[in-house]
Amino acid sequence: MRFSWRHITGVLAQTLKQGMTPRKLALTCALGVVIGIFPIFGTTTLLCLGASLLFRLNIPLMQLVNYIVAPIQLLLILPFIKLGSYVFGLNPLPYTTDQLISMFKTDFWLLMKEAGLAVVMGIGVWSLASIPLFFILFFANFWFFSRWRGPAQRELKSQ
């Protein structure tokens, strides 16, 4: 699958042609971004699928947005965990980088057990940040898609 600007706008235009309202389109994109930056790598595809089914949203569009923000997710995992340590006042990983690498090599499951609290704190910070981020993205996308719908509707009527 290509992620060119033409491909992305083509998917968006196709969803408008299929009758998806600007509100549902904005909801799909906002949820795709918010869920797409969830701080556990490898879980967002299933989470986006579940949200798409639950809210009856466009699954391919939600997954496209999820995959577009995947690099951002990777960049935000450690900041979420570090910010969680600060916000909740805990030091979940009192190890140096060398100790973490050694634990990864020798006892991966112990590392996962030790890192569990850090991940939970990262999820906590994501939860706090996701609500305002969702509303900002939803209203910005709704404004954009409401304006963009005009040309798409004219194209439909001319066919």
| 78-133 residue pLDDT tens | 889 889 888 888 776 677 778 777 887 888 788 777 778 888 889 999 999 999 99
Range of the domain at 34: 5-158
**Whether the Cβ atoms of residue 95 and residue 57 lie closer than 8 Å to each other:** no
Higher pLDDT pick, 19 / 41: 41
| Contact between residue 56 and residue 28 where contact means Cβ atoms under 8 Å apart | no
DSSP 92: S
Task: Judge whether residue 49 has pLDDT over 60.
Answer: yes
Nearest to 84 by CA among 30, 129, 42, 133: 129
SS3 125: helix
What is the dihedral sign for C-alpha 149, 23, 64, 68? positive
Would the pTM count as exceeding 0.95? no
With beta carbons less than 8 A apart as the criterion, state whether 117 and 88 touch: no
Total domains in the chain come to 1
